[in-house]
Chains A and B, each alone.
Chain A
Amino acid sequence: GNSVTQMEGPVTLSEEAFLTINCTYTATGYPSLFWYVQYPGEGLQLLLKATKADDKGSNKGFEATYRKETTSFHLEKGSVQVSDSAVYFCAWPGAGSYQLTFGKGTKLSVIP
Protein backbone atom coordinates (compact mmCIF):
# COMPACT_ATOMS: atom_id res chain seq x y z
CA GLY A 1 0.00 0.00 0.00
CA ASN A 2 0.92 3.66 -0.15
CA SER A 3 2.91 5.25 2.63
CA VAL A 4 4.74 8.50 3.21
CA THR A 5 7.55 9.51 5.49
CA GLN A 6 7.65 13.17 6.41
CA MET A 7 10.43 15.03 8.15
CA GLU A 8 9.34 15.80 11.67
CA GLY A 9 9.89 19.14 13.29
CA PRO A 10 9.70 21.45 14.83
CA VAL A 11 11.62 23.66 12.47
CA THR A 12 12.57 27.19 13.49
CA LEU A 13 13.92 29.59 10.89
CA SER A 14 14.72 33.25 10.69
CA GLU A 15 12.77 35.38 8.27
CA GLU A 16 14.05 35.15 4.67
CA ALA A 17 15.76 31.81 5.32
CA PHE A 18 15.46 28.89 2.92
CA LEU A 19 13.00 26.15 3.82
CA THR A 20 13.00 22.48 2.96
CA ILE A 21 10.62 19.94 4.44
CA ASN A 22 11.31 16.43 3.25
CA CYS A 23 8.64 13.98 2.21
CA THR A 24 9.28 10.60 0.62
CA TYR A 25 6.70 8.12 -0.47
CA THR A 26 6.19 4.49 -1.25
CA ALA A 27 3.37 3.97 -3.63
CA THR A 28 1.96 1.67 -6.18
CA GLY A 29 1.94 3.64 -9.38
CA TYR A 30 2.12 7.42 -9.35
CA PRO A 31 -0.70 8.86 -7.31
CA SER A 32 -1.30 12.56 -6.89
CA LEU A 33 0.68 14.06 -4.02
CA PHE A 34 -0.31 16.99 -1.87
CA TRP A 35 1.01 19.46 0.65
CA TYR A 36 -1.52 20.86 3.11
CA VAL A 37 -0.94 23.69 5.55
CA GLN A 38 -2.63 24.28 8.90
CA TYR A 39 -2.30 27.77 10.32
CA PRO A 40 -2.72 28.20 14.09
CA GLY A 41 -6.29 27.56 15.16
CA GLU A 42 -7.51 26.76 11.68
CA GLY A 43 -8.35 23.75 9.55
CA LEU A 44 -6.22 22.41 6.73
CA GLN A 45 -5.81 24.16 3.43
CA LEU A 46 -4.40 22.73 0.26
CA LEU A 47 -1.08 24.41 -0.39
CA LEU A 48 -0.06 22.71 -3.60
CA LYS A 49 -0.28 19.44 -5.42
CA ALA A 50 1.28 17.45 -8.23
CA THR A 51 -0.78 14.99 -10.17
CA LYS A 52 1.89 12.98 -11.93
CA ALA A 53 5.55 12.15 -11.85
CA ASP A 54 7.90 15.06 -12.67
CA ASP A 55 5.14 17.58 -12.05
CA LYS A 56 5.94 20.67 -9.99
CA GLY A 57 3.32 22.17 -7.74
CA SER A 58 3.67 25.76 -6.61
CA ASN A 59 1.74 28.28 -4.58
CA LYS A 60 2.53 31.29 -2.38
CA GLY A 61 6.23 30.94 -3.12
CA PHE A 62 6.29 27.28 -2.10
CA GLU A 63 7.29 24.58 -4.55
CA ALA A 64 7.43 20.80 -4.59
CA THR A 65 8.50 18.53 -7.41
CA TYR A 66 7.19 14.99 -7.74
CA ARG A 67 10.42 13.09 -8.32
CA LYS A 68 9.86 9.46 -9.19
CA GLU A 69 13.57 8.59 -9.25
CA THR A 70 13.95 9.50 -5.59
CA THR A 71 10.29 8.95 -4.68
CA SER A 72 10.25 12.37 -3.07
CA PHE A 73 8.00 15.41 -2.90
CA HIS A 74 10.01 17.84 -0.80
CA LEU A 75 8.49 21.22 0.01
CA GLU A 76 10.71 24.25 -0.54
CA LYS A 77 10.53 28.00 -0.23
CA GLY A 78 13.36 30.35 -0.98
CA SER A 79 12.54 33.03 1.59
CA VAL A 80 10.15 32.34 4.42
CA GLN A 81 8.08 34.93 6.19
CA VAL A 82 6.67 35.09 9.70
CA SER A 83 3.23 34.49 8.20
CA ASP A 84 4.41 31.08 6.96
CA SER A 85 4.49 29.81 10.52
CA ALA A 86 2.17 26.80 10.47
CA VAL A 87 2.10 23.02 10.41
CA TYR A 88 2.73 21.45 7.02
CA PHE A 89 1.44 18.02 6.04
CA CYS A 90 2.45 15.84 3.15
CA ALA A 91 -0.49 13.76 1.97
CA TRP A 92 -1.28 11.05 -0.52
CA PRO A 93 -4.29 9.01 -1.53
CA GLY A 94 -5.24 6.31 0.91
CA ALA A 95 -6.81 2.97 0.30
CA GLY A 96 -10.15 4.20 -0.92
CA SER A 97 -11.39 6.69 -3.42
CA TYR A 98 -10.70 10.29 -2.37
CA GLN A 99 -9.23 9.25 0.96
CA LEU A 100 -6.08 10.98 2.11
CA THR A 101 -3.39 9.73 4.40
CA PHE A 102 -1.25 12.35 6.07
CA GLY A 103 2.33 12.48 7.11
CA LYS A 104 3.04 13.32 10.73
CA GLY A 105 3.23 17.03 10.07
CA THR A 106 6.08 19.50 10.44
CA LYS A 107 5.64 22.57 12.57
CA LEU A 108 7.41 25.59 11.15
CA SER A 109 8.10 28.68 13.22
CA VAL A 110 9.56 31.71 11.50
CA ILE A 111 11.05 34.37 13.74
CA PRO A 112 11.64 37.99 12.72
Chain B
Amino acid sequence: GAVVSQHPSWVICKSGTSVKIECRSLDFQATTMFWYRQFPKQSLMLMATSNEGSKATYEQGVEKDKFLINHASLTLSTLTVTSAHPEDSSFYICSAPSLGRDEQFFGPGTRLTVL
Protein backbone atom coordinates (compact mmCIF):
# COMPACT_ATOMS: atom_id res chain seq x y z
CA GLY B 1 0.00 0.00 0.00
CA ALA B 2 0.89 3.66 -0.22
CA VAL B 3 3.10 5.14 2.48
CA VAL B 4 2.83 8.50 4.17
CA SER B 5 5.58 9.67 6.46
CA GLN B 6 5.69 12.41 9.04
CA HIS B 7 8.64 14.21 10.54
CA PRO B 8 9.39 14.60 13.32
CA SER B 9 7.65 11.81 15.16
CA TRP B 10 7.79 13.82 18.34
CA VAL B 11 8.91 17.29 19.32
CA ILE B 12 9.17 19.24 22.55
CA CYS B 13 9.38 23.01 22.35
CA LYS B 14 9.17 26.05 24.53
CA SER B 15 6.11 28.24 24.64
CA GLY B 16 6.25 30.99 22.04
CA THR B 17 8.36 29.13 19.53
CA SER B 18 7.21 27.77 16.17
CA VAL B 19 7.27 24.14 15.13
CA LYS B 20 7.13 22.73 11.62
CA ILE B 21 5.74 19.27 10.91
CA GLU B 22 6.26 17.63 7.53
CA CYS B 23 3.97 15.17 5.82
CA ARG B 24 5.24 13.29 2.77
CA SER B 25 3.64 10.83 0.41
CA LEU B 26 6.51 8.50 -0.39
CA ASP B 27 5.34 6.51 -3.38
CA PHE B 28 2.43 8.43 -4.80
CA GLN B 29 1.42 11.99 -5.54
CA ALA B 30 -1.13 13.79 -3.43
CA THR B 31 -2.75 17.00 -4.61
CA THR B 32 -4.71 16.99 -1.39
CA MET B 33 -3.62 16.17 2.14
CA PHE B 34 -5.46 16.43 5.39
CA TRP B 35 -4.27 17.51 8.79
CA TYR B 36 -5.91 16.14 11.91
CA ARG B 37 -5.48 16.76 15.57
CA GLN B 38 -6.08 14.07 18.13
CA PHE B 39 -6.53 14.84 21.79
CA PRO B 40 -5.84 12.17 24.42
CA LYS B 41 -8.53 9.48 24.43
CA GLN B 42 -10.47 11.33 21.75
CA SER B 43 -11.16 11.00 18.10
CA LEU B 44 -9.46 12.77 15.25
CA MET B 45 -10.54 16.29 14.50
CA LEU B 46 -10.02 17.51 10.96
CA MET B 47 -8.14 20.79 11.09
CA ALA B 48 -7.61 21.65 7.45
CA THR B 49 -7.35 20.42 3.91
CA SER B 50 -4.03 21.13 2.27
CA ASN B 51 -4.18 21.77 -1.47
CA GLU B 52 -1.14 21.67 -3.71
CA GLY B 53 -0.61 25.03 -5.37
CA SER B 54 -3.38 26.84 -3.55
CA LYS B 55 -4.44 27.94 -0.11
CA ALA B 56 -5.44 25.47 2.52
CA THR B 57 -9.05 25.14 3.57
CA TYR B 58 -9.50 25.38 7.31
CA GLU B 59 -12.29 23.88 9.37
CA GLN B 60 -14.43 26.12 11.48
CA GLY B 61 -12.71 27.17 14.66
CA VAL B 62 -9.17 26.48 13.45
CA GLU B 63 -6.98 29.58 13.35
CA LYS B 64 -5.28 29.77 9.99
CA ASP B 65 -2.69 32.27 11.23
CA LYS B 66 -1.69 29.93 13.99
CA PHE B 67 -1.62 26.72 11.99
CA LEU B 68 0.14 27.59 8.76
CA ILE B 69 -0.13 25.02 6.01
CA ASN B 70 2.00 24.93 2.89
CA HIS B 71 1.58 22.30 0.20
CA ALA B 72 4.76 22.96 -1.70
CA SER B 73 4.76 19.94 -3.98
CA LEU B 74 2.73 16.89 -4.92
CA THR B 75 4.46 14.90 -2.19
CA LEU B 76 4.93 17.36 0.66
CA SER B 77 2.68 19.33 2.97
CA THR B 78 3.89 21.16 6.05
CA LEU B 79 2.03 22.30 9.13
CA THR B 80 3.67 25.06 11.17
CA VAL B 81 2.35 25.72 14.64
CA THR B 82 3.26 29.34 15.25
CA SER B 83 3.83 30.83 18.69
CA ALA B 84 3.03 27.52 20.29
CA HIS B 85 1.35 27.37 23.67
CA PRO B 86 0.86 24.44 26.04
CA GLU B 87 -2.74 24.04 24.85
CA ASP B 88 -1.38 23.26 21.38
CA SER B 89 0.18 20.09 22.77
CA SER B 90 -1.42 17.25 20.91
CA PHE B 91 -0.96 14.44 18.41
CA TYR B 92 -1.01 15.75 14.86
CA ILE B 93 -1.74 13.34 12.04
CA CYS B 94 -1.74 13.88 8.30
CA SER B 95 -3.34 11.80 5.60
CA ALA B 96 -3.41 11.67 1.85
CA PRO B 97 -5.98 10.09 -0.42
CA SER B 98 -4.70 7.85 -3.14
CA LEU B 99 -5.61 9.33 -6.49
CA GLY B 100 -8.62 7.65 -7.97
CA ARG B 101 -9.41 5.64 -4.87
CA ASP B 102 -11.65 6.31 -1.91
CA GLU B 103 -8.94 5.28 0.50
CA GLN B 104 -6.79 7.51 2.66
CA PHE B 105 -3.33 6.75 3.91
CA PHE B 106 -2.24 8.10 7.24
CA GLY B 107 1.08 9.23 8.54
CA PRO B 108 2.29 7.83 11.85
CA GLY B 109 1.61 11.10 13.63
CA THR B 110 3.68 13.73 15.42
CA ARG B 111 3.48 14.18 19.15
CA LEU B 112 3.90 17.87 20.02
CA THR B 113 4.57 18.89 23.59
CA VAL B 114 4.78 22.59 24.38
CA LEU B 115 6.36 23.45 27.71
CA distance A86 to B32 in the complex (A): 28
B109 near A43: Cβ-Cβ < 8 Å: yes
CA distance A99 to B32 in the complex (A): 10
Looking at A44-52, A67-75, A76-84, the stretch in contact with chain B turns out to be: A44-52
Q: Which of B14-53 contact A (CB under 8 A)?
A: 32, 34, 41-44, 46, 49
Whether, in the assembled complex, B93 has its beta carbon less than 8 Å from a beta carbon of chain A, the answer is yes
B108 near A98: Cβ-Cβ < 8 Å: no
Total number of B residues with any Cβ neighbor in A under 8 Å: 22
Q: Which residues of B contact A99 (CB under 8 A)?
A: 34, 46, 49
CA distance A88 to B57 in the complex (A): 27
Residue of B nearest to A42 (CB): B108
Total number of A residues with any Cβ neighbor in B under 8 Å: 23
| A42 contact from B32, B44, B46, B109, Cβ within 8 A | B109
Residue of B nearest to A36 (CB): B106
Q: Which of A12-47 contact B (CB under 8 A)?
A: 32, 36, 42-46
B102 near A101: Cβ-Cβ < 8 Å: no
B106 near A43: Cβ-Cβ < 8 Å: yes
Residue of A nearest to B102 (CB): A32
Using known A-B contacts A43-B109, A44-B93, A98-B32, determine if residue A104 contacts B43 with beta carbons closer than 8 Å. yes
In this complex, the member of A32, A51, A94, A99 whose beta carbon has the largest number of chain B beta carbons within 10 angstroms is A99
Closest approach, in angstroms, between the C-beta of B37 and any C-beta of chain A?
A: 12
CA distance A66 to B95 in the complex (A): 24
In this complex, the member of B32, B43, B95, B106 whose beta carbon has the largest number of chain A beta carbons within 10 angstroms is B43
CA distance A96 to B106 in the complex (A): 18
> Which A residues have a C-beta under 8 Å from some C-beta of B?
32, 36, 42-46, 49, 51, 89, 93-94, 96-105, 107
> Which B residues have a C-beta under 8 Å from some C-beta of A?
4, 6, 32, 34, 41-44, 46, 49, 57, 93, 95, 97, 102-109
